[in-house]
Amino acid sequence: MTATPAIRFERVHKTYRGASTPALTDVSFDIAPGDFFGLLGPNGAGKTSLISILAGLSQANQGRVAVMGHDVVSDYASARRALGVVPQELVFDPFFSVRETLRFQAGYFGVTATDAWIDELLGELGLAAKADANMRQLSGGMKRRVLVAQALVHKPPVIVLDEPTAGVDVELRQTLWQFIARLNKAQGTTVLLTTHYLEEAEALCGRIGMLKAGQLVALDRTSALLSHRSHQVLRFKTDAALPEGLDARVTGRIAQIKAHDAAEVEQILGRLRQAQVPVEDLEIGRADLEDVFLEIMQGEAR
């Protein structure tokens, strides 16, 4: 017997009033219970639109969305109770302390959050010292931690993290991912993550879907997406301009050039020597998720 998907998107179509093109076109995929799923795409690809429909903040023009089998429109109360969402925006009530905020959030779902669970959340997210502080007194990073705690306080089986580490410090990123990874592995919590930090998605997500211009253009296990790009990548630093004709991706002083075999590697190095391009910290590695993402966004759909 097939398990009910934790999240199901079924032929979802969304066009905003006055827009000339749809935000989402016929998007369909399932996320299984216990999955750590990454939803990737450039700005304007439709990620936020899809999550807004999932969370009940927006309604699709066509199609169906369900959380743990509960339709987000016809059975919205059950769907919302099964879902915890960490939004991109720092939204908070300035009149309450951190602990009061979490108690009220649990109450919205008809759940009486125990102090033990709230204390565990505060401890895991580095908020214990701020439990009785007013929300207005917190830094941006601390407010972000409270948003994560709010999404988890009613113990939903599915959580959505919408750019949760955008603009936050390294310590919070590590604390957050350790905690979320434990929830995913130990308790089987289903996680849907959107992020622009592709190294996070590669490290954390077992499956990945990619949106481009409102359409699903890739959907596979992370390992499968990477294995289909078997080429090597030369990475090095240089201050000089590269010879014309090299298909290179340059970020600051770091250049990356694809090579399919040893002969092509030697050919590229020969061209660099001939052009007298000084090379530092040369390394040869496999393609990473960023390489895969750029290939797909440039037109190669799977």
Fold of 7-226: Rossmann fold (3.40.50)
Residue type, 97: S
Please give the full DSSP string across 269-299, using - where no structure is assigned: HHHHHHTT---EEEEEEE--HHHHHHHHHTT
DSSP 171: H
pLDDT of residue 299: 67
What CATH code would you report for 231-286? 3.30.70
Cite the residue boundaries of each domain of the chain with CATH code 3.30.70.
Answer: 231-286
What are the φ and ψ backbone dihedral angles of 19, each rounded to 5 degrees? -85, 145
CA distance 8 to 22: 20
For the sheet with 70-71, list strands across it.
24-31, 7-14, 62-67, 70-71
Cite the residue boundaries of each domain of the chain with CATH code 3.40.50.300.
Answer: 7-226
Query: What tens digit of pLDDT does each residue of 81-95 get?
Result: 999 999 888 877 788
CA-based radius of gyration for the chain: 22
In which residue ranges of the chain is pLDDT below 70? 1-2, 113, 167, 229-231, 299-302
CA distance 280 to 65: 50
65: CB partners within 8 A, 6+ apart: 7, 8, 9, 10, 12, 53, 54, 71, 72, 73
pLDDT of residue 300: 47
Q: Which residue's entry shows tokens 């997210």?
A: 125
Q: Note whether 281 and 236 are within 8 A (CB).
A: yes
